[in-house]
Structure 1
Amino acid sequence: MILRSIFSFILSMVFMPQVQGGAEQIFLSKNIDKHQRKTLSRDLDQLKSMRFGAAADPLTLKVMGLEDVNTSSLLDWLSDRVSVVIEDVDVDKLNLKAKRFFNYPRNAEPTIEKPLVAPSTGGGSKGVTVMSNIGTGLYFAGKSSQQLFTLKVKSGFLSSKSFDIKSPRTGVIQIGEGLFLKKYLMNKENELAPANSLGRMAVFFHEARHSDGNGESLGFFHAVCPTDHDFAGVHACDRNLNGPYTVGAQIIKEFINNCDQCSVSEKEQMRLRYIDSLNRVLKTTPVIAETTDDDVQMLSLELDTQKMIYQIETMAGKPTLVTYKKIIEIEKNLLAAAQRANAVELVPSKYWNASSESI
């Protein structure tokens, strides 16, 4: 149950066949679909062959802790945070062993924001995995339950390789069919276009950031997007200035500035991805202060009431869309009322500590 509950908030990653290019090898599970494995190898070859002639954006260097942006530094950055890439499989079907372990760091736990889950309409389709850094989830699950997990990954016909999850930086990345869907390609007419490889690599860097952090910043877990956001109520935003979405955006920017093989239209698609990533970085968080304003107090009480009703509905297995929409509307009205009463403080987001903890 601990594994399932912790993995419920982790979204979105890869694995390649003994890819050299960093401080360590990145291993690709033999259980990964052959086409996906071949594509990922080609993606990494594309990154290896790039020439970074343009001066790096100082923000990229600051966010990623690099002195320069080049093939070697980027591959090192990845291999420091990713050890293995596995296929899309349910957590309870992983080849995991656990043993009691009590020597985890005693520090603060990360904040995992809880979204207001919309009731199912029954007409939605099953989502697909793009990439997901499940290594951080395994580490956090072990830390929470005082266990050390060891993951066995198929490396050959009758052989396997073991990975002790002693740090988020063990970096276990899971990939799924979503990473290769045509609708996500930069160039939908040519699947082999270098721009498509770079688009997938940007996701790789995004997920690798989840291997960083310690204590409160462990895993750089995503925040729930606010009610006025395109992804309202979903773990698809960052409440920091150096998280996965910032890393992904900056990497795309470097790719745009250095991809001589990319066409104008491909670079435009990459710019749209860059803008989308930046739009998910919450620069400030509005916090409603205590106030005697009648409208704010009335709406606060109404919000608490509707949330209680929705909780009761959910416990009964019958959450209603009507109550859900009421809560969303009241939250918007409450923020507007608080702003009129000058009772809103905008708390600026900060750079989180990216150094990774380990045992």
Structure 2
Amino acid sequence: MHNEQIVLSARPNGMPNSEHFRTESIPVKDPENGEVLLKTLYISVDPYMRGRMNDRKSYVPPFALNEPLSGGIVAQVISSRSTELTEGDIVIGNLPWQKFITAPDASLRKLDPDLAPISASLGILGMPGLTAYFGLLDIGDPKPGETVVVSGAAGAVGTVVGQLARIKGARVVGIAGSDDKLHYLKNELQFDEVINYKTENVRDSLSNTCPDGVDVYFDNVGGDISDAVLSLINKGARIALCGQISLYNLEKQDHGPRMQGQLLINSALMKGFIVSDYAQHFEQGAMELAKWLKEGKLTYKETIVEGFDQTLRAFTGLFTGDNIGKQLVKVADPD
């Protein structure tokens, strides 16, 4: 077995590129008592990882230089010295970007491949789906007939947000960056209105698609798009602040309109959140998402690139809008 890992070799200033990473050959480590040897099947790449490449305080420690990056991974047990897991088991965990990983069994959760495709545990039934679920339903709290706007609407989180809002009887407006994405949102996910921020004047389009204002905004992108949405919020609006992907690779501090006055006069709520804030409720959220998925009320799309050597391309593609739905890297098939 030839093992490799991807490490952070330098901290990016702006968009990450190949100069900031290094692929290394490493030995395969035999498991000790309570450990298993894993073969990586799928790697999740997510926008929040960009923030961890900066050496500054955040809700999670930064990646260490010259150490492997890590994130959500689905893997298969190929050798076990665990009483909990056996060879052939499919598991998920927060693991290093390696082809073969030795990990303690306590850091892993066993998956049932018969419940859903194993890749779904990194998307709609995993962190992105739970992020959408708690951010929209707890903070946004959409009511029937209200207008919900979601930016980054064609991503792993945004696609679920829009569908959940429709389940709750709301009217959904999605903002994305290509005609293919808008076609998917409108025709497959049944969003009521869609806006292409790359070809349209977002402020004008929002005025046309939200004639009664905005009641709930799920913010994945920040920047000028969010400034435009917040200018249209209604009395009692709720804003779930999930991500700011438009700002992650800026080389200078961003400056924009100061929206506190808009929040004040509309008695509006803006709340930032991290999905781990809801950790004690994950089981409840996952069960409800799985139920809606089984009933056909939810669907999902994955953008999958193949090959461990394509992991960095998949990651940087998040910031150029290459993906529709969840972006994954397929490293191997299960045995």
- Normalization by structure 1: what TM-score? 0.24
Going by fraction, where is strand more abundant, 1 or 2?
2
* Largest Rg, 1 or 2: 1
Going by fraction, where is helix more abundant, 1 or 2?
1
Report 1 or 2 for greater relative contact order, CA contacts < 8 Å, sequence distance ≥ 6.
1
